[in-house]
Amino acid sequence: MKRIIIIILILSIVKIYSQNYTSPFNFPIYLSGTFGELRDNHFHAGIDIKTFEKEGYPVLSIADGYVSRIKISTWGYGKVIYINHKDGKTSVYAHLNRFSDKIEKEIRKKQYENELYEIEIFPKKDELTIKQGEEIGLSGNTGGSGGPHLHFEIRDTENELALNPLNFGFEVEDNLNPIISGIKIYSHNNASINNKISDINLSAKKCLTKETKKYTEYCLEETDLKINGEISFSINTFDRQDMSPNNKNGVYSIKLYVNNDLIHHFEMGKLSFEETRFINAHIDHEEYFDSNTRFNRCYRLPYNNLNNYLFEKYNGIINIKEGQKYNIKFEVQDIQKNLSVLNFSFNGSEKLNIQTKEKKPEIKYDKVKIFRNKNFECHLDKYSFYKDYDSLIYKINSKRKNTMSQIHTIMDESIPIHKNCIISIKKDSLITDKNNVFLAQIKKDSTFKYKGKTIRENYISALSKNLGSFCLLSDSISPTISNIKIDKDTNIYNGLGKIDVKIKDNESGISFYRGEINGKWILMEYDYKTDLLRYYFIPGEIPIGNNTIKIIVRDKLNNESIKEKDFIY
């Protein structure tokens, strides 16, 4: 009994502590992104806090703890800090402009030891202790950030699950109900929808009712539905907050009822990073590719191991029978329980007398699939696809002026895959190593994306997490280095000025950069979004008088550019 009481007390203390976090900023929180929001190839693992299109706001630790991880990357989270707390949670602060002095000191030491800007360290428990409310850095726009903001997360330290930060007492003013833009109805096993065996998109609108309810009621613009057979649904919906009404943020919960029977319940209280790519099974990816609109499926594809479905019945598939009435209701909530509801009804219609020939699927999602001909190969591991496909579609088109091979199209870029596939294209006998040939994907906008260059006998191979159109390209053009600008005005680091250099590569992309002053490595920060290399003058590092800066840049095919400039400091 005594042991049980102690355990209850400990759990109570942990619960209280976890609710006593303070804000990472000393101003009200306005969101530009919510937890679990639908993003390209992943669910958003935190909240994005607005910094009003500016950098340099002090970022504060939400609780006592210690720095467990510091990482600097050109991509992704940019400059990021992880702080472990006593309650078994880890807070994460990403896209920072810089770290606090004591954290900056540790990371700079490792950067200079390794002569690298991009680096990752894991301090010991007692190395970098942090107090609640202590400044740990300044907000910024580093990494893959699309504009100045703080990406903030709370994780379970032990299992690395991302937890919804808004469940931990952070105040965000929100009295707005989610928006429901429309739904999509899917035909399964030759079900008929409005006299066709095909899917249908339906727009939603606010119902013409008095705003006396605590929720917003939506109706379909098209109400005369004729349906027979097995169908499923998806919904296009987003949320807004009072002070961020123009941001289309993610919702917290989606429920689907059929005749008051709960069929599907999706909720975003936590998220596993191992499962985040299943977003491509959760949304209608082909619809998103075609219309740039994300629909949340309310049924589970065969290969979708996402654990955010709290309840499912019939796997989300509803069998519509002739003459029976069906009342459909969607309930969409944000985390503050603001609610929007979509109601509509229809009667099951007469079954269409359409003869269709059953076809055995050529692609099984749980089987390896290898396609090859004399010039092209594609190797897909089992569980690459989220569902079966009737056929594997392959097309070949002639060379273009700027390609080193024919254009090979395997399936379509709109069809998502969960794992890397191996794409291989046979190179022409006239191609030599001097041609610097690599494998590229042709994107929807007709641009080329570097995929890689692994030489296997007479083939050039690369990994790809997309299907679509591929070809061989040549890159013998070195990156450009321009506009070495020496600015002795103040900066947020130390007031001693900076050097800016523009670097760019339009073919395979930049893979290496190095800056030296008088032959000695200097710490230069690279921002791929602006093609900018930047060095901040450090007291005592540069001698007074004449100096020479040297910039070395290479692309992914090892084409190199070098540029030097003399300056007086």
The pLDDT-based confidence of 46 (bands split at 50, 70, 90) is very high
List the structure tokens of 118: 């991009």
Q: Does residue 429 have a pLDDT over 80?
A: no
**What are residue 201's DSSP bridge partners?**
184
* DSSP per residue, 224-265: ---EEEEEEEEEEEEEEETTEEEEEEPPSEEEEEETTEEEEE
DSSP assigned state of 348: B
The H-or-E segment that residue 11 falls in is helix 2-18
The pLDDT-based confidence of 6 (bands split at 50, 70, 90) is very low
Region 24-43: mean pLDDT is 97
**What are residue 82's DSSP bridge partners?**
69, 92
Region 236-249: mean pLDDT is 92
Q: Does residue 3 have a pLDDT over 60?
A: no
Region 402-427: mean pLDDT is 96
476 by Cβ neighbours in 10 Å (0-12 / 13-18 / 19+) ranks as exposed
Residue 223: predicted pLDDT: 87
List the structure tokens of 216: 């917003």
Domain borders along the chain are: 18-167, 179-347, 369-474, 480-568
Residue 342: predicted pLDDT: 98
Region 301-312: mean pLDDT is 98
**What are residue 561's DSSP bridge partners?**
553
Residue 8: predicted pLDDT: 39
Region 418-447: mean pLDDT is 90
CA within 13 Å, CB half, 427: 22
Q: Does residue 494 have a pLDDT over 60?
A: no
CATH number of 369-474: 2.60.220.30
| Cα–Cα separations (whole angstroms), residue 1 to 10, 12, 278 | 14, 17, 44
Residue 354: predicted pLDDT: 76
CATH architecture of the region 480-568: Sandwich (2.60)
Residue 373: predicted pLDDT: 96
Region 204-225: mean pLDDT is 86
Task: Give pTM, 2 decimals.
Answer: 0.93
Q: Does residue 18 have a pLDDT over 60?
A: no
Output the average pLDDT for the chain: 93
- Residues 52-89 have pLDDT tens digits of 999 999 999 999 999 999 999 999 999 999 999 999 99
- Match 């472990």 to its residue by tokens: 84
Region 495-506: mean pLDDT is 90
Q: Which of 205, 201, 234, 225 is nearest to 217 (CA)?
A: 205
Residue 26: predicted pLDDT: 97
Torsion of CA 98, 103, 107, 109, to 10 degrees: 120
Residue 16: predicted pLDDT: 37
Q: Which of 530, 535, 528, 527 is nearest to 565 (CA)?
A: 535
- Residues 381-401 have pLDDT tens digits of 999 999 999 999 999 999 998
Q: Does residue 213 have a pLDDT over 90?
A: no
- Residues 172-204 have pLDDT tens digits of 999 999 999 999 999 999 999 999 999 999 999
Region 275-288: mean pLDDT is 98
Total number of residues shown for the chain: 569
Q: Does residue 12 have a pLDDT over 60?
A: no
The pLDDT-based confidence of 36 (bands split at 50, 70, 90) is very high
Q: Could you give the maximum distance between any two Cα atoms of the chain, in Å?
A: 91
The pLDDT-based confidence of 490 (bands split at 50, 70, 90) is low
Q: Does residue 5 have a pLDDT over 80?
A: no
According to CATH, the superfamily of the domain at 18-167 is Glucose Permease (Domain IIA) (2.70.70.10)
End-to-end CA distance of the chain: 74
Residue 9: predicted pLDDT: 38
DSSP assigned state of 427: P
Region 44-54: mean pLDDT is 97
Residue 111: predicted pLDDT: 97
More confident residue, 214 or 145: 145
Strands (DSSP E) along 428-477, which ranges? Answer: 437-442, 448-452, 454-456, 459-466, 468-474
Give CA–CA dist 408/428, Å, rounded.
14
